[in-house]
Amino acid sequence: MGCFGSRTDSRRKGLTDDWTGCEFAFNVGSISTLDGCSPLDKIVIKFRREGTDVEVIGLNQASATLVDKFAIHDKDGADDLLLDH
């Protein structure tokens, strides 16, 4: 994937806080079951809540179909649907 972590993590590691976007690239991997949608939702929504623009790219046709039908991160009101843990 393109990046992982959070703004808080990057500050702790002494990295700059000037990044505004993140890409999750599925060039090699894929989402092959419904169980793969939930972690993707959690990661994307977490970054968006922290103010980071997130783009999911490179999904194959089967993965894109699963994400379109079952993921919530790309639906209206997604931030309210997935609660913080």
pLDDT tens digits for range 6-46? 455 555 555 555 667 888 888 777 888 888 898 999 989 98
What does pTM read for this prediction? 0.67
Could you identify the residue written with the tokens 């997604």?
78
* pLDDT-above-70 percentage for the chain: 71
Q: What are phi and psi of 25, to 5 degrees?
A: -100, 125
User: Residue 64 sits in which domain range?
Assistant: 22-81
Q: How confident is the model at residue 69 (pLDDT cuts 50, 70, 90)?
A: very high
Lowest mean pLDDT among 1-5, 58-62, 73-77: 1-5
Residue 13 lies in a domain: no
| Number of folded domains that form the chain | 1
Which residues are CB-contacts of 54 (< 8 A; sequence separation ≥ 6)? 21, 22, 23, 24, 44, 47, 48, 73
Contact by Cβ (8 Å): 71, 64: no
Give the pLDDT score at 70: 92
Give the pLDDT score at 4: 47
Residue 3 lies in a domain: no
Q: Which helix H or strand E contains 54, and what residues bound it? A: strand 53-57
Residue 26 lies in a domain: yes
